[in-house]
Amino acid sequence: MAEWMLREVADGLQRLVALAIPGQPPAETIALTAAAWCEALEASSIAWDEDLDAPRLRMAFRALMRDCERWPQPAHLLRALPARPELTKLPPPPMTAEQKQRARAMLADIVRKMEIKP
């Protein structure tokens, strides 16, 4: 179990406990509850990454704090998890003059082969 995930989940669960949401586990079991939630999260199909996912977990817990009227389950957290930010795409590599010439020749050849002959 990733230490950063346990830290984020435990912090989020403690915040939920502070709200006294109906159906919550006893405060003294929050450490065990956090471990169980981490197991459930790690069983999902997400390849967890601290830099990408710690902020997302915090946002998801904030959404649960705002919306839950009963104690949530790990599935609720996963549904509240926002999408990862889109990574910056690299520009296409520049083509050399020779590559451009070769590409033009290939396209001209394709056009020539596609011409309809009477």
79: pLDDT strictly greater than 70: yes
- Say yes or no to pLDDT of 93 above 70: yes
- The DSSP symbol for 117 reads -
- What whole-number distance in Å separates Cα of residue 111 and Cα of residue 32? 68
Please enumerate in sequence order all residues whose Cβ is within 8 A of that of 25, keeping only pairs 6 or more positions apart, or say none. 33, 71
Confidence of residue 115 (pLDDT cuts 50, 70, 90): confident
Least Cα distance to 95 among 87, 106, 86 occurs for 106
pLDDT over 90 percentage in the chain:
81
